[in-house]
Amino acid sequence: MARPLIADIDLDALRHNYAIASELAPGSRSMAVIKANAYGHGAVACAQALESAAPAFAVASLEEAESLREAGIQRPILLLEGIFEVEELARVEALQLWQVVHSDWQLDAVLNHPAAQPLTVWLKLDSGMHRLGYDPESFADRWIRLKAASHRVRDIHLISHFASADQADTSQFECQQRTIESVRQRLEAPVCIANSPATLTRPRTHGQWNRPGVMLYGSNPLEGELPPGVSLKPVMTLRSRLIAVQSLSGGEPVGYGARWHTSRPSRIGVVAAGYGDGYDRHAADGTPILVDGQRCPLVGRVSMDMLTVDISHLPDAGVGSEVVLWGQGLSVDEVAGHCNTIGYTLLTGLLPRVPRRYRESV
């Protein structure tokens, strides 16, 4: 009998969330971000599920793009960090990939590459996050150079990234937006700047392209609640079962380091899931877990292959009872808050030994 831990991936929910992203920005084309193995959900399966709707995909590296092409994905694929070595340009051309250019060595490589057809370039503007890209004056110069090299490049877009679009009101966001708008107007550039939070709440950032990411997988990227009328569905439900139950008297320790002790006679369920699967070891006592659909608190430290949960209030729960670690009925974002992290890290951190089981109605 197989270990009961499994990641249940609902591809209908993925399509639902993508449709919401598209409906929120009807004047934009929504590029589905499926980097980091589609945020842990499986890039190939997610791309196949979205290919009929999404006009393009975005990934972080050539290797990620290659796996999609090998699986038969034909839609355009954007390399969000561009190439990492000049030699990669031959594969970029062969696979007909789009690429971000954020550094002069990348720019020179593109302009010197003897491509049979012009390459598609998305030029990165550092609008204030100070991670990748050109400052506004340098950006304008590079944009003009690329526009003059029509035999080498085509379909040039301005791309930038917000550092704080998820926050309710920040001066940094407004500063970045002003910078982007100034450059856009000066160069009459088509833009791609709206990530998931901007797609959800900042319609003035919607450009020729948007690039929703984590919202596609049902995670709320905002500091607060989702906008009224917007309902994202969890795509991944991490399921397991109780594999043992311990009946303990009051004052007994549970787990490594005896971090938690029973305060009364208690029933402690042992779940087949741990940090060796990607469940965060930093999860605090009280982190919610569903057992037979009822909320229960995690107790004691998460170990590599198991974790423990107080089921004292569930007299009918026992070995074989279904457990939901996050997903349907329990938001990954709520669980992440008890781990002092964000939903992104839990989803992308799910390790390969956890089987993904895909389901859809079509």
Alpha-carbon gap, residue 73 to 158, rounded angstroms: 25
Instruction: Determine contact, residues 80/59, Cβ cutoff 8 Å.
Output: yes
- Among the listed residues 35, 217, 275, 344, the single catalytic one is 35
| Selection from 127, 89, 133, 88 nearest residue 111 by Cα | 89
Residue with tokens 């320790």: 253
- Stretch (H or E) spanning 199: helix 196-201
User: d(Cα 65, Cα 78) in Å, to the nearest integer?
Assistant: 8
The H or E element containing residue 20 is: helix 11-24
Residue 275 bears catalytic tag: no
Reply yes or no on whether 256 is catalytic. Answer: yes
Q: Across the strands, what pairs with 244?
A: 270
DSSP string, 74-103: -S-EEETT--SSGGGHHHHHHTT-EEEE-S
Other CB atoms within 10 A of residue 248 CB: 16
Given 134, 147, 217, 256, the catalytic residue: 256
- Supply 19's token pair: 């449709």
Point out the residues that are catalytic. 35, 256
